[in-house]
């Protein structure tokens, strides 16, 4: 079976999972962490090299204060608890987004773990935190403009590689497959540039219910897709 080198997931539906059970939304987020753990394990089993998880968007800062602070607390606990497991399994942690906007202690823990796992090579786990694709592209444009203004780069020298290299995802391959859970068929400002040719799978399952089995099904579906990148099917089938 053809396996994606880079899988990206929009983990959606935690709030609805809790609301359906008349539970506070944060319990849905807490249950969602268990799905993260089982999906990471399943990705390792399949030899997926890069896993990017959309955990908190730039727009999510606008949610009720209680929910935001509970989410940040949950993130801090998750990071501290996961470190030994990441190291043991050879997982390198990366983050994309405006990390400086995270509460100080969470940002510090995140930086510590990224430093401590920088040499791990089995899989890269990339967390999108305070991430918005338009924000990322805007920051990239600013960095490129600064280089041009400094005389370090010619406007004619700007190509697609230049843009990719100034995004938070610099050095990561583009996702081969994007999965979004919870039945919503939208991108919600996630990796707009990087998803240009990704296969998209929208699952009805709410993230806290998303299991290793659901991931396996998505991988089977991905394996059956023909990625044409603008060419014809016949071109791809000819030797
Ligand atoms: C995804 O679940 C997690 C975050 C956005 C932080 P939601 O909290 O968006 O769950 P729904 O969409 O309200 O069900
Ligand atoms: C996208 O989910 C962000 C994350 C999963 C972290 P949202 O729940 O914020 O997206 P919308 O608001 O339904 O588009
Ligand atoms: Mg949602």
Summarize the confidence of residues 171-200 as an average pLDDT. Answer: 98
For residues 184-198, give the mean pLDDT.
Answer: 98
- For 135, the token pair is 């924000």
- Kindly report the number of other CB atoms within 10 A of residue 128's CB atom: 27
* Separation CA 69–CA 11 (nearest Å): 19
Q: Whose CA is nearest to atom 12 of ligand 1?
A: 13
Give the H or E element holding residue 97: none
| 142: in domain | no
What is the CATH number for 76? 3.40.1180.10
Q: Whose CA is nearest to atom 14 of ligand 2?
A: 188
14 carries an active-site annotation: no
Q: Which of 12, 130, 206 should be mutated for ligand 2, with most atoms under 8 A from CB?
A: 12
pLDDT band, very low/low/confident/very high, at 4 (cuts 50, 70, 90): very high
Question: Would residue 12 show up in a list of annotated catalytic residues for this protein?
Answer: yes
Residue 185 belongs to some domain of the structure: yes
For the CA of 29, the closest atom of ligand 1 is 3
> Does residue 194 contact residue 136 with C-beta atoms inside 8 Å?
no
Half-sphere exposure (Cβ direction) of 197: Cα atoms closer than 13 Å: 9
pTM of the shown model: 0.98
62 confidence band (pLDDT: 50, 70, 90): very high
Q: What domain range is 94 assigned to?
A: 6-132+175-225
125-161 pLDDT per residue, tens: 999 999 999 999 999 999 999 999 999 999 999 999 9
SS3 65: helix
Asked, for residue 79, whether it belongs to a domain, the answer is yes
Q: How far is the CA of 157 from the centre of ligand 3 (A)?
A: 40
- The tens digit of pLDDT for each residue in 78-103 reads 999 998 899 999 999 999 999 999 99
């Amino acid at each position: 079976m053809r396996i994606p080198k880079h899988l990206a997931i929009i983990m959606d539906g935690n709030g609805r999972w809790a609301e359906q059970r008349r539970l506070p939304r944060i319990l849905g987020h807490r249950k969602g962490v268990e799905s993260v753990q089982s999906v990471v394990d399943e990705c390792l089993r399949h030899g997926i090299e890069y896993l990017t998880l959309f955990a908190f968007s730039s727009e999510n800062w606008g949610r009720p204060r209680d929910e935001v602070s509970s989410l940040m607390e949950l993130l801090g606990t998750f990071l501290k608890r996961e470190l030994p497991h990441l190291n043991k399994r050879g997982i390198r942690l990366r983050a994309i987004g405006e990390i400086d906007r995270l509460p100080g202690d969470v940002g510090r823990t995140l930086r510590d773990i990224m430093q401590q796992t920088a040499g791990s090579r089995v899989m890269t786990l990339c967390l999108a935190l305070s991430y918005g694709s338009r924000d990322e592209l805007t920051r990239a444009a600013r960095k490129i403009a600064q280089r041009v203004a400094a005389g370090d780069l010619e406007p004619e020298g700007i190509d697609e590689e230049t843009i990719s290299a100034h995004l938070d995802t610099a050095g990561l391959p583009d996702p081969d497959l994007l999965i979004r859970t919870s039945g919503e068929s939208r991108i919600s400002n996630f990796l707009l540039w990087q998803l240009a040719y990704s296969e998209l799978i929208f699952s009805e399952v709410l993230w806290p219910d998303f299991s290793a089995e659901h991931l396996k099904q998505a991988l089977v579906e991905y394996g059956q897709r023909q990625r044409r990148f603008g060419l014809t099917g016949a071109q791809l089938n000819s030797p």
